[in-house]
Amino acid sequence: MNIVKDFSLTNYNTFHIDVKADYFCEIHSLEDLQELLSHNIFLNNNRLILGGGSNILFTSDFSGLVIKNSIKSIEEIHEDEHFVFVKAGAGVIWDELVNYCVNKNYGGIENLTYIPGTVGAAPIQNIGAYGAELKDVFYSLEGVVLKENKLKEFYKKDCYFGYRSSIFKNEYKNKIFISSVTLKLNKIPKINIEYSALKESAKNYKTEELTVAKISEIVKEIRKSKLPDPSEFGNAGSFFKNPEVDKETKERLENEFEDIISFNTDKDIYKIPAGWLIEKCGLKGFRLGNTGTYKKQALVIINFNNASGKEIYEFSNFIKDKVYNKFQIELETEVNVV
């Protein structure tokens, strides 16, 4: 375990924001973590736990200690006739876990293909895409509660999963170091193509061709067609959550905008695509200085040319204002702003 001073975080966030941390440490095991927990630098500084850096926007240098979670392992710990339980280290790249499961024909996370980030960050955000969410296959996670220095296991009922939310994004934010996540996957996969874009692409295949591997391949193609590669344009994927509105608001919007898109998520609760709202404000492919929105997906904010985190944050507020003025809907940031 090694603590580095004045550490550049440029290559540790997918926005490629040029910022530094006072201190930086990479954790490869629980033994590393135990050593860190008794260190003066850990005890006397602000702390930030970092996964893949794909859902974070640094608006300035970080005053304190950044802890990079790099615990990596994948193992099958139990199985029965119908399910297999796969346990992965929190530092494993999420898509590597997806590929592992797809190659084994284990069903449940194929719709979550090609989402950037690490396994440990997945339950924090309750990642979701194309009609699936992590909570659908989540069984448990293990993590060290930092204040108590105690390894604790959280089951699904303990996590309070919501839309891009969990207890780890709220009550336990930066208070727990997640070490592993266990998923409960189907040995006899049940294909999910309810999401409209996925259903449309699936029409090109016979039912028997729609395997876990094929769904994963289709999702990857769709994502690649809509989202920029962070190595080309710094970004963190979807910057905003899709807002949820009541029936009255939905009907008001339908009267004003005939082409509105909405999805019923619960009784009288509807989700409006944030990308559609932003696009209707004329901001798809819009550029302001060194930042802007992606030409193929208005929900994605781009770092075109060495933008600062502050520039990107101010641009996100510009978008929020435009959307609110047109629709009276408040956009909520999905990305973690630091």
Residues involved in catalysis: 164, 238, 334
Phi and psi torsions of 311, nearest 5°? -60, -45
Written as six digits, the tokens of 251 are 């009907």
Distances (CA, A) of 89 to 65, 75, 122, 141, 207: 22, 9, 12, 10, 34
Nearest C-alpha neighbor of 161 from the set 125, 189, 212, 108: 125
Written as six digits, the tokens of 200 are 């449309």
**What distance, in Å, lies between the first and last C-alpha atoms of the chain?**
25
Single-letter amino acid, residue 164: R
Long-range contacts of the stretch 170-176 (C-beta < 8 A, 24+): 172/145, 174/47, 174/48, 174/49, 175/145, 175/146, 175/147, 176/143, 176/144, 176/145, 176/146, 176/152
Angle at 236 between CA 165 and CA 33, to 5 degrees: 65
3-state secondary structure of 167: coil
Handedness of CA 63, 23, 97, 17 (dihedral sign): positive
